Amino acid sequence: MNLDGWEIDVDSLPGPKRGEWPALYFTDAIFPSPDGRCAAVLYSITEMRMGWDVGALAVFRNRDKPRLLLNSEQFLCCSTNDSIIWLTNDVFAAKKHYYDASVNKLNVPFAIIDLACNRYSYIALANSYPYGLAMDHSGIRLVENARDDRFPTRNGEHHQLEDMVWYPLSELRHFDTRYAKDAP
């Protein structure tokens, strides 16, 4: 399947069989890095709950011969136009779908993926939708693009990279368990 010039076999990635019940309708979205050498793909996007479109994450390098760098079918991201925000050519933020069934609570934190250092972290937010991110030499700053009065503002909040807790990308499948202890 050609996604914005990237020839990616989405059907070979783990996840639900496309075109089979219960989810018959799937879409895919690609988010190339600023230099175009990598691309984050949200695939098998479908409506998980009323109005909540969610897809699995895969990351590829090399547009001419895409090589899979990262894939975890349990790592589900919300699907919007700004689901993936590239901060550098190797660091991006994903609007992660986190649902805690025990208390019927849905959060959308930012997952921060650092491909160069092979690690991930997160910014614990109940709702990342109103926010964009800016990166400077020392960290990541939250930029509130729209006000959501249901939550206190965190506009301008700065997260120093060296102060963030980082985990190996090989353990991305444990994101929800780790995030649960900090969920607002």
133-182 per-position pLDDT tens digit: 999 888 999 999 999 898 899 999 999 999 999 999 999 999 999 999 99
Range scoring the smallest mean pLDDT among 18-27, 55-64, 94-103, 123-132:
18-27
- pTM of this prediction? 0.92
Residue 132 has pLDDT above 80, yes or no: yes
71: confidence class by pLDDT, cuts 50, 70, 90: very high
90 has a pLDDT exceeding 80? yes
User: 15-29 burial, b if ≥16 CB within 10 A, otherwise e?
Assistant: beebeeeebeebebb
Predicted confidence band of residue 44 (pLDDT cuts 50, 70, 90): confident
Distance of CA 22 to the CA centre of its chain: 24
pLDDT of residue 24: 65
